[in-house]
Amino acid sequence: MTLYLLDENVLRELKHGGHENVHRWIATVDDTDLRLSVATLFEKRRGAEALMKREPERARRILDGIEALEKSFSDRIIPIDGPVVAEWTRLLGEGVALSWDRVRVWHRVSLHALINIVICRHVAL
């Protein structure tokens, strides 16, 4: 079985009006082979929560969509694992300032043992 990790930019393309090649590809893949990283859900929620004070109705719609996504992927969301947490907290204990982006990179590296292919859509590549 081939497992596919969907990146945030692919999720954006899957909305109405997204790139036709992304829609065409996703139609060829069994949903049970698709995975989401908890880091991707964090990114989506962070953006929606940042929007809450300026555009609460839009933010609420986005959060509702995220909740629906979490429900549909409920058993296919890959959590941050013990080794990532151990390294993160070890460095914090040493006083190293860490950004979420660095933790997200560790998480994605730790996924390589589980995921065959990471699906992203970087137009510049």
Residue 104: what pLDDT?
64
Residue-wise pLDDT for 37-58, tens only, equals 888 898 899 999 999 999 999 9
Examine the pLDDT at 31 and tell me if it is beyond 90. yes
Beta-strand (E) ranges in 7-115? Answer: 34-37, 77-78
CATH number of 4-119: 3.40.50.1010
Residue 124: what pLDDT?
45
Residue-wise pLDDT for 98-117, tens only, equals 666 666 665 665 665 555 55
For the record, the structure tokens of 74 come out as 């409920």
Residue among 110, 78, 107 nearest 4 (CA): 78
Which DSSP state fits 52? T
Domain boundaries, the chain: 4-119
Distance CA 43, CA 38 (A): 9
Residues 38-53 as b or e (16 or more Cβ within 10 Å = b): ebbbbbbeeebeebee
Strand order in the sheet with 4-6: 77-78, 34-37, 4-6, 117-119
Residue 100: what pLDDT?
67
Could you tell me the pLDDT band of residue 67, with boundaries at 50, 70 and 90?
very high
Percent of the chain with pLDDT over 70: 78
